[in-house]
């Protein structure tokens, strides 16, 4: 005799991961969602109740009690949801840096943004097209609570990416409408992050034959990574003149093994880099000056 769907035990599924790319995909056949800056989370409901898992499969249900209580009211005897736990700032934008303290001090302020459905009522939906999975999912999620459906917006990827960056979001995620759900990294899902500009201290440079020149940067004394030097000829020459004038500093603590020319304090750079990254990624130097 077949067990009722809610009594069939379900377990964590390794998530499907979007590849990081520079530009949104072109053409039809894609959906585009806001990239939320939070903790990737999987919600499982079966006979054992509601469980919240981290991206690596650790049970964090105890940390998300208000959301777990709300999730228990979602329709369906059993399900597995793919989601992001976030907290928002005053502008309504997800704020990763405030998330850790919100989890421990004010879990009632957390939101769960749900974007995919892998199992429902004893049925494995991973071989269904994304568009069909999301249609079923949207009908499951009630409006107005702290658990919300991640809307995909109409229009081209380029247009949506521009609007998301202008609004202050971290970026977008573009997904093939016909994609099935498969654990691991895939180009059927693509994340495109917005860029921001930061002012940092130039603490060193790396010039190796056959490789692009790099500047090494720090913020408030903390090493943040490297950026490409992309100036045109005249400005590039002025920059290297300033570097030579500052050269000769000892290696900063912890960076002795770096093959670099270390600089005395005072040279500052404006850097364009990916938003939402702790260390610099895909960064380039936009300007420089003496402080």
pLDDT tens for residues 117-141? 999 999 999 999 999 999 999 999 9
**Average pLDDT of 211-216?**
89
Percentage, residues of the chain above pLDDT 90: 73
pLDDT, tens digit, 9 for 90 and up, residues 178-212? 999 999 999 999 999 998 899 999 999 998 888 88
Same domain, 142 and 250: no
User: Domain of 178?
Assistant: 5-193
- Looking up residue 27, the CATH number of its domain turns out to be 3.30.470.30
Does the pLDDT value for residue 269 go beyond 90? yes
Same domain, 23 and 95: yes
Last residue of a domain, one of 171, 193, 215: 193
Q: If you average pLDDT over every residue of the chain, what do you get?
A: 92
Q: What pLDDT score was predicted for residue 86?
A: 97
- Looking up residue 218, the CATH number of its domain turns out to be 2.40.50.140
Same domain, 154 and 251: no
Q: What pLDDT score was predicted for residue 5?
A: 55
The pTM of the whole model exceeds 0.85: no
Same domain, 33 and 139: yes
Q: Is 86 exposed, middle or buried (0-12, 13-18, 19+ CB in 10 A)?
A: buried
Length of the chain: 291
Same domain, 186 and 204: no
List CB contacts of 143: < 8 A, sequence separation 6 or more. Answer: none
> Is the pLDDT higher at 91 or at 107?
107
Contact assessment for residue 38 and residue 99, using Cβ atoms and an 8 Å cutoff: yes
* Helices H / strands E in the chain, number of each: 5, 16
Same domain, 223 and 182: no
**Average pLDDT of 162-166?**
91
Does the pLDDT value for residue 74 go beyond 90? yes
Q: What pLDDT score was predicted for residue 1?
A: 39
d(CA 110, CA 222): 30
Same domain, 129 and 184: yes
Same domain, 136 and 162: yes
Same domain, 176 and 276: no
Last residue of a domain, one of 146, 176, 193: 193
d(CA 107, CA 247): 50
In angstroms and rounded to an integer, the radius of gyration of the C-alpha atoms of the chain is: 23
Q: Identify each DSSP E strand in the chain by its residue range.
A: 16-20, 30-35, 39-46, 49-54, 79-86, 111-120, 123-124, 147-149, 171-176, 184-193, 195-206, 214-219, 222-229, 261-262, 267-274, 284-290
Structural domains in the chain (count)? 2
pLDDT band at 276 (very low <50, low <70, confident <90, very high): confident
Last residue of a domain, one of 163, 193, 223: 193
């Amino acid at each position: 005799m077949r067990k009722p769907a809610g009594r069939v035990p379900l377990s964590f599924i390794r998530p499907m991961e979007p590849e990081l790319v520079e530009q949104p995909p072109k053409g039809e056949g894609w959906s585009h969602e806001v990239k939320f800056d939070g903790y990737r989370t999987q919600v499982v409901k079966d006979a054992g109740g509601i469980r919240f898992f981290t991206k690596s499969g650790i049970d964090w249900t105890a940390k998300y009690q208000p959301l777990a209580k709300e999730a228990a009211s979602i329709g369906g005897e059993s399900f597995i949801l793919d989601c992001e736990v976030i907290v928002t700032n005053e502008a309504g934008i997800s704020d990763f840096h405030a998330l850790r303290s919100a989890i421990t001090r004010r879990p009632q302020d957390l939101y769960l943004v749900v974007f995919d459905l892998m199992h429902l009522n004893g049925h494995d939906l991973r071989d269904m097209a994304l568009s069909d999975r999301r249609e079923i999912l949207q009908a499951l999620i009630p409006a107005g609570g702290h658990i919300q459906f991640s809307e995909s917006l109409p229009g081209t990827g380029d247009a949506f990416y521009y609007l998301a960056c202008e609004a202050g979001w971290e970026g977008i995620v573009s997904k093939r409408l016909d994609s099935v759900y498969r654990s691991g990294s895939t180009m059927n899902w693509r994340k495109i992050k917005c860029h921001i500009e930061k002012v940092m201290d130039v603490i060193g440079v790396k010039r190796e034959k056959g490789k692009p020149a790099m500047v090494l940067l720090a913020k408030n004394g903390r090493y943040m990574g490297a950026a490409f030097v992309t100036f045109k000829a005249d400005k590039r020459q002025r920059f290297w003149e300033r570097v030579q004038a500052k050269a000769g500093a000892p290696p900063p603590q912890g960076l002795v093994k770096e093959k670099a020319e270390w600089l005395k304090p005072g040279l500052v750079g404006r850097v364009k880099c990916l938003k939402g990254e702790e260390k610099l990624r895909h960064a380039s130097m936009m300007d420089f000056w003496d402080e």
